[in-house]
Every structure is written in structure tokens, then in C-alpha cells.
Amino acid sequence: MESLIPTWQVSFLGAVLAWMVLSSMFNVTRIIRSLTQPWVSSCVISGIPIILQIQKYQHTYLDALFTGLSCLVSVPFYTGFLPLLFWSGHGKLARNMTLLMALCDYAGNCVKDVVSAPRPKSVRILTVTADEKDFAMEYGLPSSHTLNTVCLSGYLLHYILAYNGNSDASYELVGIAFVCVFVGLIGFGRVYLGMHSVIDIIGGLFLGLTILKFWLCVHEQVDNFVVSGQNVTSFWVAISFLSLFAYPTPELPTPSFEYHTAFTGVALGIVTGVQQTYDNFHHEHVARVFTPQLPMLAFACRILVGIPTILLVKFCSKALAKWILPITANALGISLKSSGYVPALTASSMVKKSNEVKQSNGYLQKMLFFSNQDSFDVDTGIRLLQYAGLAWSVVDLVPSIFTQLNL
């Protein structure tokens, strides 16, 4: 009986598959877009005067302040910050924030690509960082920065209050006020920088509060499942795979799906690594930073050892995936293309398209209901495995090295 897959897992995966089939059959994305896009677009246009009015107070210091705050709550920052949180000994907080971030990234990007509402035009963009240039290629509603800030700062406050066991109402009030001011600055900064309209900020705030409320209801159950549940790894692999297909097609291509794929890989690597090594490295009695068991010098040494290691693993994971996935797909008869990771596939897919080669798909590809595509982009699988390998090294390989070095 222990080896059987729990009924709730089968039901959950079945529900996701059913939703994918039904939404594809009835063009749910197009229906929702036709109902929401005109209204949101009109709100974006009507909000442009507000942005221009705010930008009249443009100043170099304000540019630097709001650009810095935006970088502080961006996905790349959290990707770099979360490993430090794991290595500091706060494994439960790091696990929950990683999975919450993955949920926010998926939900926010789904809404962006379903609605496909434009960002504000005819306004000055007051930030020129490389990340902001990438973000500007996405659709506007909701503001991911606002959404992520609401969820992660709200959950961090919840964790701090629960961890300290302080029931003082004034202490909680100060924490809530700080989070509200911080969220307000982020939202206002996105409008000031010309990256979002007011409706985008409101959408991010509403969606963020909804996700945060949901997560606070289920985070204990999710964490218990990750650290001690049954059939964890195979279930999470299935969910990660399905999430790549249970994603809406945007009106025009954007990088949103790439961000979703990357953080789905991060969540997969974290869950897989923690589930295997919880009793060794991630239980509640591990050494925590700023304690005699883990002084600041030892934590700094962990960072110096850990960062190069996970970057090396990321590079190796990508190289290995670029080699294995095309071979595996070829053996299974699945036609592949590449957007850039595998030059040989990029060239071959262009030749096939220009010559209109008519070749039947493999058997496995015919069995998949989503195989109406001529070929699948191997870059998606490479990106997923690359970030899964990176995240696995954060919670499994690197802590093993720390143990060997007595860190």
C-alpha cells in the first residue's frame, strides 16, 4: 500500500489534464481576452495623463531610488537571495518563499498573457537597466513587481511574527505599516518609471493579496508534504511538466513563459533536493546564522564556496540538457526546434520550414493531445533542467560540501 500513488494526487493531475483539454477545445484564453483586453487597454490609455503628471516631478535621485527598489523585488534578485536564505539555516522560510514565488510567477504571467494588455505608451521610461528592458517586452497587467512584493513581504512578515512568538499588537502594527509603505513605494515607483499604468498596479495588488491569503491557508500542508510526503518527487515532476503546457498562448510572443519555465525548474530542484536531504541539512534544528553554531565568518565562507558551485552546476546542467534532450527526443520520434540554445536544431528547423518537408510525427507525439504543433522547442526543456539543477545544488550538493568543510 505504501507504494501506491495517493488518490488526491491522481485527482489533482487528472483535474489539470481535464482543464487543459477543455480550455483548448473551447478557446478559453481567447474568450477571456476578448472580454477583458478592451476594458484594460482603455484603462491604460486613460491612465497615461496620471503617469505624465507624476513624471513632472522627475529627479535623478528619484530615478535611482525607484530603479533600485524595482531591482530589489525583481525575480533575478530573489533567485540570488533565496540560496543565501537556505544556507543561513532558515530552510522552512526559504522553501515556502521559493514555492510562493513560483506560484506568483505562474499566476501573474498567466494573467499577463491571457489578457495581453499593453503597457503605457507615449510616456518616458525612466530606467534603462537590462532587466527592465526584458520586463518591458512583457504585457502590463498585472504588475509582477507589485504582485511579488505583496506576497513575499507579506509572508515574510507572517513568518517573523510567528517565529518570534510576539503577540504584541503594536509590534504587529508596525510590521504591517512597514509592509504597506514598502508595497506602496514599489507600486508608485513602477508608475513613476513609466513601466506600468495604475490599473496594472491595482491588478497586481489584488492578485497578490488573493495569492497571499491562499498561501497562508495551505503553506503548512504544502511544506509537510514536501519534507515528509509520499510520492513527492514524481508528483512534482508531473506538475512541473504539465505546467509547461497548462499555460496560455499570448497574443504576441513575450518572455513571460521563459520566466515561468525557469522558476518552475527552481521549484522542482528545491522540492527534489529537500525531500531527499531534509533530515541531514534542512530540519528545524540546523545551525542558523548569527548564532554560536553559525557565526558570520562561517556564513561568509558558505557564500564564497556556494555561489561558484551553483553557477558551475547551472552551466553543466545546461550543457548536459543540450546533449541529452535532442537525443532522447529523436529516439522517441519527437520533432524538435530550438530558439537559440541548439544552433544545429535552429538551422535544421529553418531548412525544414523553407522546404516544407512533410514528415509524420513520432508515435509518442501523436499520442499527446497537444501535438498539433509541428515541433517542440527544446529550449524549454533545457531551461527547466538547467534551473532545476541549479536549485538542487543549493539544497543538496552545496550543503554536502559545507559538511565536508565543517562549515
Residue positions annotated with a catalytic role: 145, 196
Residue 377 bridge partners (DSSP): 337
CB contact set of 394 (below 8 Å; sequence gap of 6+): 82, 83, 86, 87, 269, 270, 273, 306, 310
DSSP 366: H
**209 three-class SS:** helix
For 165-197, where are the alpha helices, taking DSSP H only? Answer: 169-192
Longest Cα separation, the chain:
72
Q: What is the dihedral of CA 371, 374, 376, 378, to 10 degrees?
A: 160
Structure-block grid coordinates of residue 219: 503553506
**384's grid cell:** 527547466
Burial of residue 84, with CB atoms counted within 10 A of its CB: 0-12 exposed, 13-18 middle, 19 or more buried: middle
First-to-final CA distance of the chain: 41
C-alpha 61/C-alpha 73 separation (Å) is 19
Q: Beta-carbon neighbour count of residue 86 at 10 Å?
A: 26
Grid cell 491588478 in the structure block, residue: 203
The beta-strand segments (E) located in 191-350 are 336-337
Q: What angle do CA 119, 153, 183 make, to 5 degrees?
A: 45
Q: How far apart are CA 254 and CA 259, in angstroms?
A: 10
CB distance 141 to 117 below 8 Å: yes
Residue located via cell numbers 501535438: 371
